[in-house]
Chains A and B, each alone.
Chain A
């Protein structure tokens, strides 16, 4: 296999007594779009700042093209960053902001002008050269920040929740644009967000972080369909998570019933967590379902209704295109393929 562009080996970071990152191991290959996904305060931004060079890890190794860069200052790393609040230079106009990195490299005026023009075209801001950054909207400022970071052709671009300050609509557009940008430039993107939808839409691979530890790294579909534990399942999309017991090959017991499921690597009688996505819960006649319960709530969500169904053991979340009266009975049916069995995490 090709050598990864950047390799994190047992990265640890503590501030005073608090451990923020615990033994992070992660490889990012060239041309990949990898997203660090996790709730706020999980350490994902700190990890990004370590890669950029603004923080030093307390332990572990950071390899760039196989060479350690732990002691290399940020201005000598071929890694650029797009900051959460853009961090545009207020005393420069758009073109000067973008040209900043090139000027430091003492590029000649012609090259600078050509590259700035290229970048403005790339981020759809042609003709904005002489505009003051203060006069730009949030989305435009973000584009300038991206252009400024890409102009020096870094090998790795770090993005720290770059869409956090934008409204929902603009966010969607920018997600598509960023993905496009990554494809056309071929630059490796390492993206930080707490928004699982954003992570799913754009990334080749997603790394889910919780409390400073890496929970799971994998393709978007893999993380969504086969989460390794209850935390990942709950964080990546909506889910019903139940405690269950492995009853042997392809059989799991939860909610007082045994369900057929896919094969798994568990001991008979082992306590497990079971995940079922709400869209995989089919609502049928109360008499025909594998489980029966009372409809407690129905919320219209646009494409579907979100129903809450109370069975004897659990409150289920189900998506249904048909509305069932609240307080009436409904049956639940779940196909074996939709039941995902996970190792029970130690109680945290």
Chain B
């Protein structure tokens, strides 16, 4: 009986998941595998073939290089910040962590727009440069600006999981390592870092995925000629109205994420990917 009961109470969730998760995915897969001809839908791999056109491959490459760079920069910046925030002197001062979170409460668009006014031709930086008699620079509408926007927006997602893992470390483990002959560098490389890998892994996934699929950041800071995968999908669905090709690109992106999940869970067998998922 309890088994039947348990099955019964999961029904609403199963229904919800079916309607809002499984069905949309199936629809997207269906769209990606069809083309429209004379008002009829025909099964075809045409959309996928098209995705490998050099024009789109360039977009994929730029997306991959930008999101990987963003992830790497976030890790290099975020780990030390998380380490400091989790250290004993700061662990009880949640105010500092708070400072890193406050920008996240502001609207995403607004946050990114503000960078325009900082970077644009007559923006904050160039005005300052001009005031002290230096030549101005084109700071907006290039890959660097997009990367800056990505790092700025996604850095907290790297800091938080690493910080929460580092905070849980036990002082006695560190003392045990010191006792057995580990100096501070060895305590870090042999104990603290290996124990924080689950946090690093979930930080990487939480930064890499939104960085790969973003379209607002590249739209606002990258300009029209610097398209990313996110922009491509947005364009196909909302402007060109080619849902079939847009779906195919989405499916490819999903497969890429799936593969990266697989790689990460292989690295981190114990904890499973995503402490925060």
Kindly count the residue-residue contacts between A and B in the assembled complex, taking CB atoms under 8 Å apart. 61
Point out the residues of chain B lying under 8 angstroms from A73, CB to CB. Answer: 178, 183
Report if A148-B180 is in contact (Cβ < 8 Å); known contacts: A87-B173, A87-B175: yes
Indicate if the CB atoms of A83 and B176 lie closer than 8 Å: yes
B186 CB within 8 Å of chain A: yes
Q: How far is the CA of A103 from the CA of B191 in the complex (A)?
A: 13
Docked Cα-Cα span, A71 to B39, in Å, equals 85
* A142 at interface, CB cutoff 8 A: no
* B170 on the A face (CB < 8 A): yes
Q: Give the B-binding residues of A (Cβ under 8 A).
A: 52-54, 73-75, 79-81, 83-85, 87-91, 100-101, 103-105, 148-149, 152
> Cβ of B170: which chain A residues have Cβ within 8 Å of it?
87
B172 interface residue per 8 A CB criterion: yes
**A101 neighbours in B (Cβ, 8 Å):** 180-181
Is the pair B179, A75 in contact by a Cβ cutoff of 8 Å?
yes
- Give Cα A85–Cα B172 distance, bound, in whole angstroms: 8
Q: Give the chain B neighbours of A89 by CB distance below 8 A.
A: 173, 176-177, 191
Return chain A residues, CB-CB under 8 Å to B178: 53-54, 73-75
Nearest CB in chain A: distance from B196 CB, A: 10
Apart from A74-B178, A148-B180, 16 more pairs, CB < 8 Å: A73-B178, A75-B178, A81-B179, A83-B172, A83-B176, A87-B170, A87-B176, A91-B194, A91-B195, A100-B177, A101-B180, A104-B181, A104-B182, A105-B181, A152-B180, A152-B181
B186 closest partner in A (C-beta): A104
Is there an interface contact between A80 and B180, defined as CB atoms closer than 8 Å?
yes
Q: Is the CB–CB distance between B175 and A74 below 8 Å?
A: yes
Is B180 touching A83 in the complex (CB atoms < 8 A)?
no
List B contacts of A104 (CB < 8 A): 180-182, 186, 190
**Docked pose: A52 CA to B179 CA in angstroms:** 7
Q: Which residues of A contact B190 (CB under 8 A)?
A: 100, 103-104
Between A73, A85, A100, the greatest number of chain B beta carbons within 10 A of the residue's beta carbon is seen for A100
A101 to B176, CA, bound (A): 10
**Chain B positions within 8 Å of A74 at CB level:** 175, 178-179
Is the beta-carbon distance between A81 and B186 smaller than 8 angstroms?
no
A81 partner residues in chain B, CB cutoff 8 A: 175-176, 179
Chain A residue with the shortest CB-CB distance to B183: A75
Measured CA separation A85–B173 after assembly (Å)? 10
Question: Complex: how many Å from CA A336 to CA B183?
Answer: 59
B173-209 vs A: 1/0 string, CB under 8 Å? 1011111111100100011001100000000000000
Name the residue of chain B whose CB is nearest to the CB of A83.
Answer: B172
Closest residue on chain B to residue A132 by CB atoms: B270
